[in-house]
Amino acid sequence: MKEFAAWALDTALARGATYAEVRVLDTRQRYLSTKNGQCSQVRESQSLGLGVRVIAGGAWGFASTDNLTRANIDRTAALAVEIARASALAKKHDVRLAPEEKIVDRWAAPCRIDPFSIPISSCLELMLKVDGELRKVQGVTLAETSMDFRRVEQLFLSSLGSEIYQLKTQTGAGYVATSFAGNEIQRRSYPNSFGGQYQTKGYELVGELNLLENARRIAEEAVALHKCDQCPAGVKDIILDSSQLGLQIHESIGHPIELDRVLGSEANFAGMSFLTLDKLGTLKYASDIVNVVADATPAHGPGLGTFAYDDEGVPAQCTPIIKDGRFVGYLTSRETAPAVGRKQSSGAMRAESWNRIPLIRMTNVSMRPGTWKPEDLIADTDDGIYLETNRSWSIDDRRYNFQFGTEIGWEIRGGKKTRMLKNPSYGGISTDFWNSCDAICGPEYWTLWGTPNCGKGQPMQTMGTGHGASPARFRKVQVGVAYPG
C-alpha cells in the first residue's frame, strides 16, 4: 500500500500540485441473506484501489484507479493535476485550507470476533432458524434475513508528511416479516428496518442483538397490524423509540449541520440547509434539555461514524452541535472551517471508497440521554402515540419540513399504552419539533444506531453514520399526516 501511495504523491507534487493527498483502500465485504426458508444470497467482494486529490493552480482535482502499476499510478496522479488546472479555468478564488499537523499513526477499531472467520454455514444456520420462527406465525407471507460484514483497510499519505493507517470492521444483521392480506401490505423489522443494526465491531454484534428471541413477537405484530385501527389524524404528544429518533436526528439535525450544504456546495443535488451562518450561536434549535454532539472518537462507541482520523488526516473529535437547546456547531472540513471562524477542521471529511473524494459527512451525531424511564414517560402521557421502527422518511432540500412513517404505533391514553395502531405517521418543521421535546430517557435506554445507507454527492457516495438516542417525548405534534383524508 505504502509504495503505491508514495508513487502517486511524488508524481502529483512533481507535476506541480501545491497540496496532495493519497488514499489507498482495500475493502472486503460479505453479504448473506435468506428468504422464505431458502438461502438467497451468498456473495463476497474485494476491491483495492487508489485515489489522489490535489490542489494545483489554486483549484481541486481528483483522479482514481484500480490498475496499480507504477505507470498507471503516475498517469492517475498526473491526471489529477491536469483536472485541477482545468478547474482553475472557472475558479473565483484560490482554495485555502485550515492548518493541520503532520500525523504518523496506526489505528484499528476494536473487533472481538472477526466476522470473516465465522463459517457461513454457522451464519446461515442462525438466519434460517430466525426465518423458520417468523414463518411459524400464520399470515406471514415473506420472511427475509440478512447479515453484512465489511473490513476496510486504509492508508492515507499527504504532502504534509502524514502517514495514517486505519483498519475498521463493520457488522450488520437484521430481518423483516411481511404480511399481505386483503388490500394491505404490513411489515415489521428487527432490530431496525432497512437492514437491521450496523456497528463498527465484529461478529459479537450478532450475539448482542437477540435475533432469534425476538422473531416470534415481530412476526405476530406484522400479522396483527392488519386487524388493528388506523393511526388517527390530529395533534398529539408522541414518544419515539430510539431507532426512529436516531433517524429523526440524522435527517433534521445531522444533514443541516453539514457546512458544505450551508455554503451551497450541494445546492444542485442534496440541497442546502436552513442553518444559515447567522444562526450559529443564536438559534434556539431545541428545548433546553436537548444536547447533541457529533462525536467520531472511539470513546463515543462503535458507531458507523467512529474513526481515529478523517479522510483529510484530521483527528477524530467530539463537536458540540446543540448545547442546552442552542445551536453551537457545524460539521466542517479543512476548506470550510475558516468560514465559521474555526482554526481547525472538525474532522468530518469522509469518502465512500478509493474512487471518491472526501465530503463533509456525519460522524456519530447523537443526542445525550436524559433521566426518564420509558414506563414513567408513558405513565406521564395523557393522550399520545408511541411510534416504533421507521417505515418512510422524507425531508425538504433545506431540511426543514419533514414527514416520517413508522411500522407500528401504540396509543397512549391516561398514562397507559393501549391499542395497537397501523400506518402511523407524523410531520412538522425541524426547529418547532425539537423545541417540543420535553422528556428524554436515560443512558440505560440509549442505543448507538447505524445508518448504513446515507447518500450524498455527485457521483453519489453512500456512507455509514452513527446516531445515539434513547426514547424521547415531543409535545403537540401533527400525526396521521401521511394518509390523505
Partner 1 sequence: MMLTRQRADEIFEKVLKYSTADETEVMISSSAHALTRFANNTIHQNVAEEAESLSVRLVSEGRMARASTNKFDEASIRQLCEDALALARLRPPDPDLLPMPGPQTYRAVNRFFNETAQLTPQTRAETVAQVVARAEQDHLTAAGAFSSGSSAYALLNSRGMQTFHEETMAEFSVTVMSDTSSGWAKKTAPYWMELEPLELAERAVRKALASREPHEITPGWYTVILEPAAMLDLLGFMVLDFSGLAVHEQRSCFTGRLGQKVLGENINFRDDVFHPLQSGAPFDGEGIPRQRVPIVEKGEVKNLVYARQTAHKVGAQPTGHGFPLPNEMGEAPINIVMDGDRATVEDMIRTTERGLLVTRFWYIREVDPYRKILTGMTRDGTFWIEDGQVRHGVRNLRFNQSLVDMLGQVEMMSPPQRTAGEESFEMVVPAVKVREFNFASATRY
416-445 positions binding partner 1, by CB under 8 A: 423, 425, 427, 429
- The least CB distance from residue 307 to partner 1, in Å, is 22
Query: Stretches 4-12, 31-39, 151-159, 312-320: which one binds partner 1 (CB under 8 A)?
Result: 31-39
**Closer CB to partner 1, 48 or 283, in the complex:** 48
Beta carbons within 8 Å of 38's beta carbon, 6+ residues apart: none
Of 240-269, which residues contact partner 1 (CB under 8 A)? 263-269
Shortest distance in whole angstroms from residue 368 CB to partner 1: 28
Q: Rounded distance, CA 223 to CA 1, Å?
A: 52
- Residue from 38, 117, 138, 282 touching partner 1 (CB under 8 A): that is 38
Nearest distance from C-beta of residue 382 to partner 1, angstroms: 26
User: Which of 341, 350, 345, 369 lies closest to 441, judged by CA?
Assistant: 369
> Does residue 230 belong to the site contacting partner 1 (CB under 8 A)?
no
Find the binder of partner 1 among 6, 113, 142, 379 (CB under 8 A): 142
Binding-residue total with partner 1 (CB under 8 A): 86
Q: What angle do CA 153, 159, 162 make, to 5 degrees?
A: 45
Which residues between 336 and 355 bind partner 1 (CB under 8 A)?
Answer: 355
Q: Which of residues 265-294 bind partner 1 (CB under 8 A)?
A: 265-269, 271, 274
- Residue 138 is a binding residue for partner 1 (CB under 8 A): no
Candidates 8, 15, 17, 33: give the one binding partner 1 (CB under 8 A).
Answer: 33
Q: Applying CB under 8 A, does 459 fall inside the site for partner 1?
A: yes
Contact between 62 and partner 1 by CB under 8 A: the answer reads yes
Q: Could you give the CA distance from residue 50 to residue 4 in angstroms, rounded to a whole number?
A: 8
Cβ distance to partner 1 smaller for residue 81 or 448: 81
Give, as ranges, the residues between 299 and 318 that touch partner 1 (CB under 8 A). Answer: none
Q: Are the C-beta atoms of residues 370 and 245 closer than 8 Å to each other?
A: no
Is residue 331 within the footprint of partner 1 (CB under 8 A)? no
Asked if 117 interacts with partner 1 (CB under 8 A), we say no
Exposure string for 404-425, b = 16+ CB within 10 A, e = fewer? bbbbbbbbbeeeebeebbbbbb
Specify the DSSP element, H or E, that contains 437: strand 437-440
State how far the alpha carbon of 135 is from the alpha carbons of 139, 176, 189, in Å.
8, 11, 14
Comparison of 92 and 343: residue with beta carbon closer to partner 1 = 92
Q: DSSP letters of 143-198?
A: EEEEEEEEEEEEEEEETTS-EEEEEEEEEEEEEEEEEEETTEEEEEEESSSSS-EE
One DSSP character per residue, 343-369 reads: SS--S-EE-SSTTS--EE---BEEEPP
Binding range to partner 1, per CB under 8 A, among 141-149, 292-300, 304-312, 469-477: 141-149
- 178 vs 317 by CB, closer to partner 1: 178
Q: In this chain, which of 357, 408, 448, 479 binds partner 1, going by CB under 8 A?
A: 357
- The binding track of 386-415 with respect to partner 1, each residue x by CB under 8 A or -, is -----xxxxxxxx-xx-x-x----------
Segment 189-208, which members bind partner 1 (CB under 8 A)?
none
Backbone CA torsion sign across 256, 257, 259, 263? positive
Question: Distance between CA 25 and CA 66 in Å, rounded?
Answer: 10
Closest approach of partner 1 to the CB of residue 336, in Å: 11
86 binds partner 1 (CB under 8 A): yes
Task: Annotate 371-416 with three-state secondary structure.
Answer: CECHHHHHHCCCEEEEEEEEEEEEECCCCCEEEEEEEEEEEEECCE
What mask of x and - would describe binding to partner 1 in positions 160 to 179, judged by CB under 8 A?
------------------x-
Contact 75, 83 (CB under 8 A): no
Q: Which three cell numbers stand for residue 159?
A: 504532502
